[in-house]
């Protein structure tokens, strides 16, 4: 199969899964608010396996924010945070335990600003930084590392 087609297919599948998982967390009331636990954020470890995960999770985040009714600022900045985290994670892929860290930090830096400006969160930035960080650690280090270890045995699917 053509490498470009395979790359696009992997990215599209990752984006679709991201949207579905975000929608599921949204329906359960877990994907918004100060502590956000988006199941889809676990996919931010996928750059460990494939470069296609970088556009995959970025586009997935964009589409997920649109379909779940996020504010325009969230639709714009959420995917930027996801892209930054995923791109740096790709470059850290040789250091398994560091792969989730860029996504955690990028979201901690950007999401509190979005919560304050787009949603009128009254909480202080440091408090939101902490609560967003907690949600990201649960999503990416907790769920994401479980996913990484489960997929590591089947990493040929990304070849």
Segments forming the whole domain that contains residue 81: 3-158
For 106-128, the pLDDT digits (tens) are 999 999 999 999 988 887 889 99
The answer to whether 125 and 80 have CB atoms below 8 angstroms apart is no
Tokens of 5: 């087609």
Which residue has better confidence, 125 or 79? 79
Q: Please report the pLDDT score of residue 152 as a whole number.
A: 94
The predicted model gives 70-98 an average pLDDT of 97
Domain count, the chain: 1
CATH value at residue 7: 1.10.1760.20
Q: Please report the pLDDT score of residue 33 as a whole number.
A: 61
Q: Please report the pLDDT score of residue 38 as a whole number.
A: 87
Can you state the percent helix, strand and coil of the chain, rounding each to 5? 80, 0, 20
For 16-49, the pLDDT digits (tens) are 999 999 999 988 888 766 678 889 999 999 999 9
Q: How far is CA 139 from the centre of its chain?
A: 9
| Res. 159: pLDDT tops 90 | no
For a pLDDT cut of 70, what percent of the chain falls above it? 97
């Amino acid at each position: 199969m053509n490498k470009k087609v395979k790359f696009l297919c992997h990215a599209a599948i990752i984006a679709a899964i991201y949207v579905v998982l975000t929608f599921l967390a949204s329906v359960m009331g877990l994907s918004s608010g100060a502590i956000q636990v988006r199941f889809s954020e676990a996919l931010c470890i996928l750059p460990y396996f494939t470069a296609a995960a970088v556009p995959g999770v970025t586009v997935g985040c964009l589409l997920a924010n649109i379909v779940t009714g996020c504010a325009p600022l969230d639709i714009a900045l959420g995917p930027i945070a996801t892209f930054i985290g995923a791109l740096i994670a790709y470059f850290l892929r040789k250091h398994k335990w560091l792969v989730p860290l860029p996504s955690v930090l990028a979201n901690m830096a950007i999401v509190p600003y979005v919560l304050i400006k787009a949603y009128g969160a009254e909480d202080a930035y440091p408090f939101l930084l902490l609560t967003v960080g907690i949600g990201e650690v649960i999503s990416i280090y907790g769920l994401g590392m479980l996913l990484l270890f489960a997929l590591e045995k089947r990493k040929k699917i990304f070849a």
